[in-house]
Amino acid sequence: MLEKVDLERKVSKREYKNAVKTLKEQLTALDGPMKEADLPVIIIFEGWPGAGKGSLIQKLIQNFDPRWYRVVNTQPPTDVDLREPMMWRHWATIPENGKITIMNRSWYQEVSTMRVDNHIDELTNLRHMNEINSFEHGLVENGYLIVKFFIHITQDEMKKRQDALLADKNTAWRVSETDRKRLKDFDKYVTVTDSMLEYTNLPFAPWHVISGMDQEACTLDVFSIVVDSVQTALKLRADRNRLAKESRAVIQPGQYRFVEMPLLADIDLDKSLTDEEYRKELKKEQEKLTDYHNRLYRHRIPMIICYEGWDAAGKGGNIKRVTAALDPRGYEVMPIASPTPDEKNRHFLYRFWRRLPKDGHIAIFDRTWYGRVMVERLEGFCTTADWQRAYGEINDFERQLYDWGAIIVKFWIHISNEEQLVRFKARQENPDKRWKITDEDWRNREKWPQYEVAVNDMLKYTSTDFAPWTIVEGNDKKYARVKALKTINAAIEARLKEVEKDKDKDKDKGKDKGKDKGKDKDKGKDKDKGKTAAKGKADSRAKAGEAVKAKAKEAAKAKAAVKEKAKKTAKAKAAGKAGAAAKGKTAAKGKAVTKGKAAAKTNAKGKK
């Protein structure tokens, strides 16, 4: 998608000035209709560092009433966030009906930049993108408008803008090490981002990829798309409200494997335990659960236990026996009542996402999200389309919890109509328990047949292989408590076996790798020995060669010395001969001189 962006698009100052005035007026005029129609809007800004997301958001919000919007600056997940499902922290950002959330970065950083930075594998990344698509689909189906922008610039432009910020000491802080990494590995991030844009470009929540090279042109494009999107959503809002009251021809619970469940009418409610059996079984299962709870925490496995059932079925007493075996620091019981006003103004799953446990902890829900397909369905608290769509939404929700690693156990505590009447009367007659029964309980009892149909539908459409329902025969409270504990323990035991089996496999792989490494080391040692031996031989040969060379040099030196000595001797002899000859000449000369002197004396004597 990035290749299709016109990075050359520009507008003149005059064109911008003329167009932006009209667009600002149109944006300002949207406040009232959005509020009146209860239209919740999410506007997402993604893009490269320095692309201008912040300035675009600043320009956009100036056209809205500050009471009705919120700007969310999404940061990388904290250590706390990482102990929850990926979408957990993002559910907290969705707006109430009639309000706007404007996001500087969003859930998309998990499947784009973080995919590169954290080396997330392709399968995990694909699962995360599917979770995002499911999340956005659920929001749109519940009336949300999602507008998604990606602001694109070239690598050269990014460098130019970073350099400009770094040149000023007052703005240099805005360029982080992460920004520099994005610039350095630009091509790698482009590949991942383009894949993300393609996969999450949904018909009901499309991407608008816009050039950020020219800020004026980019601003006009953003303003224009927001105006068109909101105006279209407002027109469709009326049609949606009309269609929401119509029943679907076929309920679509999603493409999951379902566990076949019996009808409530076919359940045998005569099962029971004696007091002695109850005490023995209760102690045994509670001790087992205590041990399992420690192991859950050690392996960081979250668990979610859901309780639904008829009024006075014994859910409270059942929960009490479960929690008696748990470390109070590692679980929380969530009693679910009617939603608060701010919860009513959001997606019905919003309040349940906010109550999920951390990994290694247990959340026990006394009433759950299944109120959507029971009490809300029968009391008219939601439209027909809402509760029919909810089966699929709930299955998607629970699948995300399962993929996160959670163990999900769901109980329907079942009692007979007659047993309920007995318990109602007992409560009314007991001052200590009278607070437990209300006029609403009596009214609901009158709708028992309608509720039974709704419960059978719930069991049929939401008992998946990863989050199956367990129907607990509850006419005998003792039997129901022990069965619930056994079911919980069996679910934990099965997961622990999986986890510990996987760890054993990893250990075996580690051992095999260790053996392979050992073999490699041995091979390496052999190779090293061979190399050492070869090297030793080569060294020996080299040393021998050097010794030969040294001897040859020494012989050559000795020979040269002999020659030099011979030369010196010859010179000495020659010098001796020359000296002797010189002496001979000197002697001869001396003799001649003597003879001459003697002759001269003789001649002198003759003359006289």
CATH number of 209's domain: 3.40.50.300
Q: Structurally, how many domains does the chain consist of?
A: 2
SS3 330: helix
Dist. CA 159–CA 147, nearest whole Å? 28
Residue 555 has pLDDT above 70, yes or no: no
- 438 against 577, higher pLDDT: 438
Residue 112 has pLDDT above 60, yes or no: yes
SS3 per-residue string spanning 157-175: HHHHHHHHHHCCCCCHHHC
Domain identity same for 85 and 155? yes
Q: Is 558 within the bounds of a domain?
A: no
- Residue 508, pLDDT score: 63
Q: Is 402 within the bounds of a domain?
A: yes
Domain identity same for 215 and 314? no
- Residue 296, pLDDT score: 97
222, 210 contact by CB (below 8 A): yes
Cα 12 vs. chain centroid, distance in angstroms?
Answer: 42
Cα 189 vs. chain centroid, distance in angstroms?
Answer: 16
Residue 123 has pLDDT above 80, yes or no: yes
Residue in 364, 365, 313, 316 with CA at minimum distance from that of residue 337: 365
Residue 507 has pLDDT above 90, yes or no: no
DSSP H helices, 177-214, are 177-184, 186-199
Q: Is 315 within the bounds of a domain?
A: yes
What are the strands of the beta sheet with 407-414, ordered from one edge?
331-335, 362-366, 303-309, 407-414, 469-473
Dist. CA 541–CA 135, nearest whole Å? 75
Which residue reads 């989050």 in tokens?
467
pLDDT band at residue 433, thresholds of 50, 70 and 90? Answer: confident
- Residue 573, pLDDT score: 52
Domain identity same for 397 and 460? yes
Dist. CA 419–CA 528, nearest whole Å? 83
464, 401 contact by CB (below 8 A): no
Domain identity same for 279 and 214? no
Residue 111 has pLDDT above 70, yes or no: yes
pLDDT per residue as tens digits for the range 158-194 = 999 999 999 999 999 999 999 999 999 999 999 999 9
Give the least confident one: 368-377, 418-427, 444-453, 585-594.
585-594
Dist. CA 204–CA 208, nearest whole Å? 12
377, 387 contact by CB (below 8 A): yes
- What number of other Cβ atoms are within 10 A of residue 604's Cβ? 9
- Residue 370, pLDDT score: 98
Give the least confident one: 244-253, 367-376, 583-592.
583-592
Residue 217 has pLDDT above 50, yes or no: yes
Domain identity same for 304 and 440? yes
Domain identity same for 207 and 307? no
- Residue 585, pLDDT score: 46
80, 172 contact by CB (below 8 A): no
Q: Which two tokens stand for residue 284?
A: 């045994």
Domain of residue 53: give its range.
2-239
Residue 560 has pLDDT above 90, yes or no: no
Q: Is 533 within the bounds of a domain?
A: no
Which residue reads 């809002």 in tokens?
237
- 326 against 576, higher pLDDT: 326
Residue 344 has, within 13 A of its CA and on its CB side, a CA count of 8
Q: Is 358 within the bounds of a domain?
A: yes
Last residue of a domain, one of 450, 484, 502: 502
- Residue 603, pLDDT score: 43
- Residue 503, pLDDT score: 73
Domain identity same for 227 and 268? no
* Global confidence as pTM: 0.81
pLDDT band at residue 248, thresholds of 50, 70 and 90? Answer: low
Residue 48 has pLDDT above 60, yes or no: yes
Mean pLDDT of 137-147: 96
pLDDT band at residue 566, thresholds of 50, 70 and 90? Answer: low
Q: What is the mean pLDDT of the chain?
A: 87
Last residue of a domain, one of 502, 533, 555: 502
Domain identity same for 309 and 362? yes
Domain identity same for 171 and 288? no
Dist. CA 53–CA 158, nearest whole Å? 13
Mean pLDDT of 199-206: 96
Dist. CA 572–CA 566, nearest whole Å? 10
Q: Is 557 within the bounds of a domain?
A: no
Residue 474 has pLDDT above 80, yes or no: yes
Q: Is 204 within the bounds of a domain?
A: yes
Which residue reads 């816009």 in tokens?
210
For the stretch 191-206, what's the b/e string if a residue is b when 16 or more beta carbons lie within 10 angstroms of its beta carbon? Answer: ebbbbbbeebeeeebe
Give the least confident one: 299-313, 475-489, 584-598.
584-598
Q: Which residues contact 280 (CB under 8 A, 6 or more apart)?
A: none
Residue in 134, 492, 489 with CA at minimum distance from that of residue 302: 492
For the stretch 19-50, what's the b/e string if a residue is b when 16 or more beta carbons lie within 10 angstroms of its beta carbon? Answer: bbeebbebbeebbeebeebebbbbbbbbbbbb
- Residue 546, pLDDT score: 55
pLDDT per residue as tens digits for the range 222-236 = 999 999 999 999 999
Phi, psi of 363 (to 5 degrees): -115, 125
- Residue 500, pLDDT score: 82
Domain identity same for 467 and 402? yes
Q: Is 555 within the bounds of a domain?
A: no
Domain identity same for 212 and 291? no
- Residue 586, pLDDT score: 42
DSSP secondary structure letter of residue 74: P
Domain identity same for 169 and 305? no
pLDDT per residue as tens digits for the range 412-427 = 999 999 999 999 999 9
Q: Which residues contact 324 (CB under 8 A, 6 or more apart)?
A: 286
Phi, psi of 29 (to 5 degrees): -75, -10
Last residue of a domain, one of 239, 255, 274: 239
pLDDT band at residue 525, thresholds of 50, 70 and 90? Answer: low
Phi, psi of 103 (to 5 degrees): -115, 120
Q: Which two tokens stand for residue 378?
A: 């029968």
Residue 49 has pLDDT above 90, yes or no: yes
Residue in 96, 25, 99 with CA at minimum distance from that of residue 63: 25
Residues shown for the chain = 608
Mean pLDDT of 296-306: 97
- Residue 393, pLDDT score: 97
